[in-house]
Amino acid sequence: MKPLSLLIEILIILGVTIKTIKAEKHNERQKERNVTTQVSVNQTQQFLSHILEQKKLSEVINKRENLLEKKKNHHKIRIKGIQNKDLLKRSKNLLKTQAKKNFTDEGDQLFKMGTKILQQSKSQKQKAEAYILFAKAADMGNLKAMEKMADALLFGNFGTQNITAAIQLYESLAKEGSYKAQNALGFLSSYGIGMEYDQAKALIYYTFGSAGGSMMSQMILGYRYLSGINVLQNCEVALNHYKKVADYIADKLEKSEGIPVEKVRLTERPENLSSNSEILDWDIYQYYKFLAERGDVQIQVSLGQLHLIGRKGLDQDYYKALYYFLKAAKAGSANAMAFIGKMYLEGNAAAPQNNATAFKYFSMAANKGNAIGLHGLGLLYFYGKGVPVNYSEALKYFQKAAEKGWPNAQFQLGFMYYSGSGVWKDYKLAFKYFYLASQSGQPLAIYYLAEMYATGTGVLRSCRTAVELYKGVCELGHWAEKFLTAYFAYKDGDIDSSLIQYALLAEMGYEVAQSNSAFILESKKAKILEKEKMYPMALLLWNRAAIQGNAFARVKIGDYHYYGYGTKKDYQTAATHYSIAADKYHSAQAMFNLAYMYEHGLGISKDIHLARRLYDMAAQTSPDAHIPVFFALMKLETVHLLQDILLFNFTMRWKWMKLDNILGPYWDLFVIGLIVAVLIFLLRNHHE
């Protein structure tokens, strides 16, 4: 056991030292910098005990107020116990012996403590503390802690990414029946990352993983059967897989509201990426804090909400949430009063569970006609929290809140009619309220709609509709938090870590992740795949995203076939995809590309009139297309005019004269240059 501990600690030091060197270089360019954990090789034997005994790491990590600071400072917290280099040298027999011991009492306790920390918050500081405990538990032979360490090696969480070492550990864990390891090996096989590309083997791993209880494997198989990826398309089988995951997610959502998933699209323009609406820019956040302290009630409530559930890249912080809500409530904000009531109803570190306090604040908000306050009172009466159970009162408050458009109240009404709680069962009314709530994204309403479509309860049964609804619920699972970590890894320049996280989410059926993975592969900045595999894999992912309705991905598929990226040049196929994007999604880029192909007869019959029409449609669809379309039409009209002149009354004598013969194969570029020169000449004369 001791050699294993020593190897783990040495490798941690190696990862930390490498990152420290990078941090010193970056400190010269940026004054405000968080201090990263630094450990010398001579401290190997004392590092973990030193961290557990003292508060220094917490003080350092505490400076990272939220993930936005992480984005700004371009550094990761390095945690001892996440190793790579020497892991391959570990004895397989030793790992097997450790796994058979399963959990020691101390290792089991450490793992539970770490898991509890992860479940309570998505704070980077607390995650770092959790991984310290996992590292200790893994060293004691705790199988589940070893799984955490393998994941950390794979994704580069709090340490240096080493896929080879991760695979070695996953393979040893899989032999001991670890369904998480089987899922990971299936994922790596499906992409050929660190392993041979083998879809058949990936399917076997996923099947074993799902049988063992892996929700990720269930979700991946559901997506594969839904889309017919390396299996026969089968809606009923997909329904079975998705329902198991959706049941699991719904059970979690009934206990807590859940955390919204921020999905940043890397395909947006670079100038828009930093100010993406899914992530709150650090400078803007500081400005909002300034306004909140100046007494802006609306901003106070907004910041309270963001910190309450940890949205837009901010850490979940109950103390800050309560602080802003109390300031706003003091100024008379009904929303703030209602959210304070919600915090006391659910209970957390800043506001311990207290039904009486919850009732007080909900009543204050409800008296002002606030929908959230009305809904809160309805919950108290429905579940009998601090007051006797009274379905009539609950129904009254839910109806008032639902009339004001509050989706949670609409869901509660639907549930009452669905389950017959205090009212007669009425599936039509249940469907009505579930549908209304689902339009606002209420996850449990979506789940119950899926249940109704899956069983044909109160509505005509539809397997496809049920699967799509279940899929939406499944995508709210805790694994979706990887969207944020993948995004920040990308912004920090850690392309491989970002890609592997997006790729896993893409395998699970997330369309945004499929687009982002393809985008990264297309850039050829990643190192975890061979260069020659990147375009074919990107094409595969663009295709999956396009099937799920992404117009940009559909245009990309056309581009790949047009230029021969990852496949053979095929103008006809390219034109087909451009046509789909233009007709179905009204893509200006697709219209422009298709117009060019009609103009030159590439893969389709040459048609100048249709080309002109498509150019005009592109300009009408997007303001960004005005200038390209202007030059394209100028070129088209000029060429058309020149050809008419050459042919007019000289057809028999000069029939050999063609622009290709006179100006060469790049005659269109010549014409564009001529047009630009004429325009410049005219503008100069005009100014003179």
The full set of domain ranges for the chain reads 2-176, 266-404, 550-688
For position 138, what pLDDT does the model report? 84
pLDDT above 70 as % of the chain: 76
pLDDT tens digits, 394-434 = 999 999 999 999 999 999 999 999 999 989 999 999 999 99
The more confidently predicted of residues 340 and 38 is: 340
Q: How many CB atoms lie within 10 A of CB 194?
A: 20
pLDDT band at 95 (very low <50, low <70, confident <90, very high): low
pLDDT tens digits, 178-188 = 999 999 999 99
For position 59, what pLDDT does the model report? 42
How far apart are alpha carbons 520 and 514 in whole angstroms?
10
How far apart are alpha carbons 607 and 177 in whole angstroms?
62
For position 6, what pLDDT does the model report? 46
pLDDT band at 28 (very low <50, low <70, confident <90, very high): very low
For position 84, what pLDDT does the model report? 46
How far apart are alpha carbons 582 and 552 in whole angstroms?
11
Handedness of CA 461, 465, 470, 476 (dihedral sign): negative
For position 108, what pLDDT does the model report? 84
The more confidently predicted of residues 345 and 256 is: 345
Given the structure tokens 């003080």, which residue do they identify?
Answer: 59
- What mean pLDDT value characterizes the chain? 81
- Spatial neighbors of 620 by CB under 8 A, at least 6 apart, are none
Q: Kindly report the CATH class assigned to 266-404.
A: mainly alpha
- Spatial neighbors of 510 by CB under 8 A, at least 6 apart, are 263, 475, 480, 483
Beta strands (DSSP E) in 367-462 are: none
DSSP letter for 191, please: H
Query: Residue 489: which of 34, 163, 79, 160 has the closest Cα?
Result: 160
Q: Is pLDDT above 90 for 370?
A: yes
Q: Are 191 and 529 in contact (CB under 8 A)?
A: yes
How far apart are alpha carbons 667 and 685 in whole angstroms?
27
Average pLDDT over residues 366-370: 94
How far apart are alpha carbons 375 and 361 in whole angstroms?
12
How far apart are alpha carbons 60 and 64 in whole angstroms?
8
Q: How many CB atoms lie within 10 A of CB 23?
A: 18
- Spatial neighbors of 55 by CB under 8 A, at least 6 apart, are none
Q: At what angle do helices 179-191 and 215-227 cross, to 10 degrees?
A: 40
514 CB-side CA count, 13 A: 22
Query: Residue 508: which of 300, 267, 223 has the closest Cα?
Result: 223
Given the structure tokens 């910190």, which residue do they identify?
Answer: 307
Query: Residue 484: which of 516, 507, 508 has the closest Cα?
Result: 516
Q: How many CB atoms lie within 10 A of CB 681?
A: 10
pLDDT tens digits, 461-516 = 999 999 999 999 999 988 988 998 899 899 889 999 999 999 999 999 999 999 99
For position 307, what pLDDT does the model report? 85
Average pLDDT over residues 79-101: 50
The more confidently predicted of residues 358 and 10 is: 358
Read out DSSP for 94-153?
HHHHHHHH---HHHHHHHHHHHHHHHH---HHHHHHHHHHHHHHHHTT-HHHHHHHHHHH
Q: Is pLDDT above 60 for 83?
A: no
For position 315, what pLDDT does the model report? 75
Q: Is 644 exposed, middle or buried (0-12, 13-18, 19+ CB in 10 A)?
A: exposed
At CB < 8 A and 24+ separation, what contacts does 429-435 make? Answer: 430/458, 431/458, 431/459, 433/402, 434/410
Structure tokens at 483: 């969207």
Read out DSSP for 462-502?
-HHHHHHHHHHHHTTSGGGGHHHHHHHHHHTT-HHHHHHHH
Average pLDDT over residues 19-45: 40
Q: Are 136 and 48 in contact (CB under 8 A)?
A: yes
How far apart are alpha carbons 164 and 36 in whole angstroms?
26
- Spatial neighbors of 124 by CB under 8 A, at least 6 apart, are 61, 64, 66, 67, 70, 77, 315
Q: Is pLDDT above 60 for 70?
A: no
User: Exposure pattern of 202-230 as b/e (b: 16+ CB <10 Å)?
Assistant: bbebbebbbebebbbbbbbbbbbbbeebe
pLDDT tens digits, 616-661 = 999 999 988 888 888 888 888 777 777 666 665 444 444 444 555 5
Q: Is pLDDT above 70 for 378?
A: yes
Structure tokens at 416: 């009452």
pLDDT band at 75 (very low <50, low <70, confident <90, very high): very low
Average pLDDT over residues 134-163: 86
Average pLDDT over residues 18-47: 40
Q: Are 185 and 170 in contact (CB under 8 A)?
A: yes
Query: Residue 335: which of 300, 301, 299 has the closest Cα?
Result: 301
Average pLDDT over residues 504-530: 95
- Among 230-239, 240-249, 674-683, the least confident range: 674-683
For position 149, what pLDDT does the model report? 87
Using left for φ > 0, alpha for ψ between -120 and 50, and beta otherwise, residue 158 falls in left
The distance of Cα 349 from the centroid of its chain, to the nearest Å, equals 28
How far apart are alpha carbons 84 and 88 in whole angstroms?
8
Q: What is the CA radius of gyration of the chain?
A: 30
For position 681, what pLDDT does the model report? 72
For position 269, what pLDDT does the model report? 54
Q: Could you please state the CATH topology (level 3) that the domain comprising 550-688 is classified under.
A: 1.25.40
pLDDT band at 58 (very low <50, low <70, confident <90, very high): very low
For position 272, what pLDDT does the model report? 44
For position 600, what pLDDT does the model report? 92
The more confidently predicted of residues 488 and 270 is: 488
How far apart are alpha carbons 286 and 402 in whole angstroms?
35
Please determine whether the domains at 266-404 and 550-688 fall in the same fold group of CATH.
yes
For position 558, what pLDDT does the model report? 97
The more confidently predicted of residues 46 and 10 is: 10
Residue type, 34: N
DSSP letter for 36, please: P
Structure tokens at 494: 């850690």
Q: Is pLDDT above 50 for 50?
A: no
pLDDT band at 161 (very low <50, low <70, confident <90, very high): confident
Structure tokens at 326: 């109390």
- The SS3 of residue 10 is helix
pLDDT band at 94 (very low <50, low <70, confident <90, very high): low
Query: Residue 377: which of 391, 387, 360, 362 has the closest Cα?
Result: 362
For position 122, what pLDDT does the model report? 59
How far apart are alpha carbons 85 and 79 in whole angstroms?
15
| pTM of the shown model | 0.78
DSSP letter for 457, please: S
Residue type, 136: K
Q: How many CB atoms lie within 10 A of CB 231?
A: 15
For position 33, what pLDDT does the model report? 34
**C-alpha distances out from residue 648 to 589, 629, 655, 664, Å:** 35, 28, 10, 22
E strand or H helix at 349, and its extent? none
pLDDT above 90 as % of the chain: 54
Q: Are 425 and 418 in contact (CB under 8 A)?
A: yes
Given the structure tokens 């002109």, which residue do they identify?
Answer: 612
